[in-house]
Amino acid sequence: MSTPEQMSERTLTGTGATPRSDVGTVVWYSSTAELPDPDDGTVEPDVERERFTDARETARDELEDERERTAERVGEQEAEVFDAHVQFLEDPQIEDGVESAIEDGLPAEHAVQRAFADPIKQFEGMDGRMAERADDLRDVRDRLVRLLIDGEHVDLGGLPEGTVVLAERLTPSDTAQLDPECVAGFATVTGGRTSHAAIFARSLALPAVVGIGEELHNIAADATVVVDGEAGELVVEPSEERRESARATREVEVREEPVTTADGTEIEIAANVGQPAELEGTKAQGADGIGLYRTEFLFLDREQAPDENEQYETYTEALETFPDGRVVVRTLDIGGDKPIPYLDLPEEENPFLGERGIRRSLGPDADLFETQLRALFRAAANGEGQLSIMFPVVATPEELSAALETVSTVAQALEEEGIDYAVPELGVMIETPGAVFAAPELAEQVDFLSIGTNDLTQYVMAAARENERVADLRDPRRPAVLRAISRTIEAAHENDAWVGMCGEMAGNPELTELLVGLGLDELSMSAVTVPDVKAAVQSIDTDAAAEHASRALEATTREHVIDRIQRNNANQ
């Protein structure tokens, strides 16, 4: 890393992760320790094994403390990442690797580095979110090395007020520790808008700019910076005017009531959630309801699946939180990057193109699927609000037909048992090119379609979500992606189905007019972006928005799309 130097005001650009800004003082964070070459012939294996055992016990204690603190400060879902770290810490393969390296004459800290090298490389070579497991392994490795060399530990949960964290990268466990009451924001060399660090930042309402590049290393510790998560800018040694402007954006107006465009078209603005702990915070941001309830988080990090009653209570709680709104529950999207220890999940070369979502629900997880539907049907009959169910990773009309047959079977069973139930409106997530081309046939069978732009973009452009080498391709403003979205919306409306969007694209206020112009009826996003999107909706004229969308669809390159969006926004 080059030696950072204090500079006069200058602006670095990256990807804004959260539409918030703040000003603070730089603290550099790195979890990686540099080790000198080991001395030959000085290692006593018994001593090194004991050092490793002691470090592992201390690491386990640290992880348990950090999990508890994160669960209280951020939420149970975010805290679960520490459970995965404990599993890696106790992995027999890792332990055997350390033992072997010590026997070969390496000190414990070097043995740890060698033992983790191959597993990290294996995960780095995978696609999508599985690559994030490499960061989890780095976390555990670096924690052990730090303890073994008595290195300095930067407590991300105990930073002074007004801190801006700069780092090469921040893993989910790093980001989960950040206290929004003290941390003014963060910026990273790597990362994109759909990375977990960026998603965590939005859940914390924390200003963040990711993917700035190597230039970030030139910023000195203790420098004053503005983190502008809306513009995607990091301003070094900003003027007093810029500092005041950044502080002023911290307060946002929350609109609790549904909003309409300037000419009276109502657009539903919902939020994405993964667990009950997020419900109240989502409502506090003014969300009309839930546009994506990721139910797989109910099944993770436990020894057995939640039973029907536990699921029923969870879904009922969501409905009671939004008695006047809609709660869209996605059925199990197990597979891909969501391993579950009590299920026999196959080891697939490319799990994101393998057996996941509805494919498992109609196959090896059929019993779980039926239990989940029973709980949902009971909640639909007894809970407040409007429940909707959507099926993930549907690629063919045949898969949807099979899912609907299961719906009928479950409803008949509840009827015969004399249990109150209701079959709510049903929908399909559109996240594969196959689903886009089959959208007319899919929409004909259901009440709604919901476009998951994170996966749809990576599949349309063949660009994995966490692969920085293809980040430029992974942009929903690509003409091919916009045309896929438009085709889906047209298919839905032609078949009297409403259509929503639940990917990260939906939460970008700069794209709200474009999305309304394309004809979306609902937008669902991270809760922190709800106020800004609602404000954007209220200023839109739908006829003008439709013309804007038409011009964007005519563009032949990403640059042309961006230029037309920027010109349109500048004229508002």
Residue whose tokens read 């949807």: 400
Spell out the domains of the chain, with CATH numbers in brackets.
10-31+155-248 (3.50.30.10), 45-148 (1.10.274.10), 265-570 (3.20.20.60)
Residue 530, SS3 per DSSP: helix
- Which residues lie below 8 Å from residue 302, measured CB to CB, with a gap of 6+? 342
Answer whether 175's CB lies under 8 Å from 501's CB.
Answer: no
The per-residue pLDDT for range 357-369, each reduced to its tens digit, is 899 999 999 999 9
Write down the pTM of the prediction. Answer: 0.69
Q: Is residue 404 pLDDT above 90, yes or no?
A: yes
Q: What is the mean pLDDT of residues 265-285?
A: 89
- Is the Cα torsion angle 553, 555, 559, 565 positive or negative in sign? negative
Q: How far apart are the first and last CA of the chain?
A: 43
Q: Is the pLDDT of residue 392 over 70?
A: yes
> Which amino acid makes up residue 208?
A
Band the pLDDT of 347: cuts 50, 70, 90.
confident
Report how far residue 517's alpha carbon sits from residue 519's, in angstroms, rounded to the nearest whole number: 5
φ and ψ at 261, to 5 degrees? -70, 170
The residues annotated with a catalytic role in the active site are: 196, 502
pLDDT digits (tens, 9 = 90+) for 106-118: 999 999 999 999 8
Q: What is the pLDDT of residues 137-154, one digit of tens each?
A: 888 898 898 889 876 666
Q: How confident is the model at residue 351 (pLDDT cuts 50, 70, 90)?
A: low
Query: For residue 4, what pLDDT is reported?
Result: 44
